[in-house]
Amino acid sequence: MSTESGIWMSGDGRSPRAGRSPGKLTAEIHEEALALLCDLLRIDTTNPPGNERPAAELCAEALRAEGLEPKLLEGAKDRTNLICRYRGTGELPPLMLTAHLDVVPPGDGWTHPPFEARIVDGWLYGRGAIDMKNHVAMCVTVLRALAREKARLRRDVLLVLVADEEAGCTWGSEWLVRNHADKIRAEYALGEIGGFPLHMEGRRIYPIQVAQKGVLWLRARTRGEGGHGSMPRERTAVGDLVRAVSRLVRRPMPIEVTPPAREFLDALAAQLGPKGAALRALSRPWLARAVLRALPDRSLARTLRALLSNTVTVNVLRAGEKTNVIPRAAEAEIDCRTLPGKAGEKAMQQIRDRVGPEVEFEVLQQAPAVEFTSKTPLFESLAAAIRRADPEAVVIPYMIPGFTDALAFAHNGTTCYGFTPVYLPEGVVFADLYHNVDERIWVEGFHFGLELLYDAVRTFCAEG
Ligand SMILES: [Zn+2]
């Protein structure tokens, strides 16, 4: 595949690049990026255990080939992080590009094997194709391209590839911030989730992530008398847990419209004409639930619901070992995601109020939400780069319901935006590809994203 023969010229013209002049990167670099992505997808970095070292080494080798000097850093064996700097003049503080090397377990039911990087009908399949080895390959390629052309920049471009994001960042971004804060200091970071099109009402809306929800992972435990299964007790640990879990999931958490959610909803509503009215109604808590129920796009409704309340899902249940033995304890693991500010601080109490007094809690992981202003030169510059790639693009600030490495980097004083550009054709929802079977990336969309990322990074670091 080459630029001349038509990376941008897909016969059906589905990408906004189709038919437009080639980008700034050479066809050779695009091919190298895709090959690197395929090689990364063939390395199994399922977390746990992670074992990110081979993926980090592959990236290091690609960087060394351009004369760059990557460093590999580990807090635990084979939980490898990579740092590499493309030096600017130092007039301005660095811009970080960051991505995680690990992936979630593939699970069953794939149409194409999850670690073989097969391209079928223009789509590249593999665990990590969109979350987020695509961005690993793109970031490495951007540094390689800058080095190859000896670009003169006013900021350093700092590449930080991390381990262990999918299990809570312990050996990755958190470990780096705790142990090597100086090596990863940057004014801004571009990391996970943002810069892809949402197709709505004939428009292409590109969210750039400026906020993310916090996390509160809990283990809930009930205790009771043990004994023989043939002689039931009135109350058991299992019975108490099941009742508690059922109360928790049946009673929804209250709707609370936080400032980043309002900014996102207003910006989106402004683009959607009369249909925007439904989104505006979401800012009124008493109307929101009915609007969410009525939205025909269920994927959108799920996302919006998550942006408007603390959420809980109960994802692990554990009790007993034998059919005829009443266990003395039962456990559930609860994934709670918290809103920014005061709303998030209330989450623990909201959960306790629902489950009742017989449940004990252990906090497994906790971090507050993070939010950044969209009123920065970088946000403006990213928006301009998106519009250069897709002249009809509408760019809006966005809060994601999940968390990323930005939680850790924010503690290091870095303003973090989600910007992992990729083009997806209409009908494919970015969020639905995440952690799902048949995770895949549209190859043309990958090239679109690479060109956009390169343009955005180069322009911002050369100018502002
Ligand atoms: Zn991810």
Q: Give me the domains of the chain, ranges plus CATH numbers.
A: 27-210+370-463 (3.40.630.10), 213-367 (3.30.70.360)
**For 100-134, what is each residue's pLDDT tens digit?**
999 999 999 999 999 999 999 999 999 999 999 99
Instruction: Please give the Cα distance from 15 to 19 (Å, whole number).
Output: 9
Residues 6+ apart with CB under 8 A from 369: 211, 212, 213, 214, 338, 339, 340, 341, 344
Average pLDDT for 343-365 = 94
Cα 74 to averaged position of ligand 1 atoms, centre (Å): 20
Kindly give the distance from the C-alpha atom of residue 434 to the centroid of ligand 1, in angstroms, as a whole number: 8
Report the candidate in 56, 380, 432 with the shortest Cα–Cα distance to residue 188: 380
- Phi then psi for 419, rounded to 5 degrees? -150, 90
* Max Cα distance, the chain (Å): 78
Whether omega before 132 lies within 30 degrees of 0, making that bond cis, reads yes
Residues whose Cβ atom is located within 5 A of ion ligand 1: 131-132
List pLDDT tens digits, range 238-257: 999 999 999 999 998 999 99
Degrees to nearest 5, angle at CA 384 with 185 and 62:
50
- What global pTM score does this model have? 0.87
The three-point CA angle 296-311-400 to 5° equals 70
Average pLDDT over residues 168-183: 96
Tens digit of each residue's pLDDT (9 = 90 or more) over 257-289: 999 999 899 888 988 888 788 888 888 888 888
Bridge partners of 82, per DSSP, are: 72, 161
241 CA → ligand 1 middle, Å = 31
Distance 145 CA to ligand 1 centre (A): 24
Distance from Cα 172 to the centre of ligand 1, integer Å: 12
**Residue 263 CA, ligand 1 centroid: distance in Å:** 24
